[in-house]
Structure 1
């Protein structure tokens, strides 16, 4: 999961550098009234999202498998804990009814 996040961040940074270069070279229009601090990252985000979607497809699939396995383990642990609690509760009720 960390690998996917770092790869996604790397694509964003690369797009940010390219967009910054294009804006300051005049090939892409700059923001109005000093809004380049918002315009450049927003444009880089819009460009990097579809690139990440296509380029990182295999890595995203691997990350989703890891997350699904982790969720399944947590569900199994919760069910096991619930079974232990139910057994202890049943035992305590049986003792109180016997007395």
Structure 2
């Protein structure tokens, strides 16, 4: 599984890159703050909402600590999606939140 650090995500966003970030935490967790522009698709709904994703795009998956996003990445990767897991999750995120 491909991984990316929170610092790398932050640097890419600061550089103006348009990233596709999916936050797989539950809505009440996301309400406490998420990476600007991230889309919330809770882990339990990934299977039912993956049709919303484009297999030609790369998605960075985020959760609280990296475990749930890792499971989501494995699931989506096995179905042909281009995904990267953000290691350490939001616990390691030092960038802005919305």
Task: Tell me whether the two structures share a fold, i.e. TM-score over 0.5.
Answer: no
Q: Name the one with the larger strand percent.
A: 2
Normalised to the residue count of structure 2, the TM-score between the two structures is: 0.26
Bigger fraction of residues in helix: 1
The normalised TM-score by structure 1 is 0.25
Larger Rg: 1
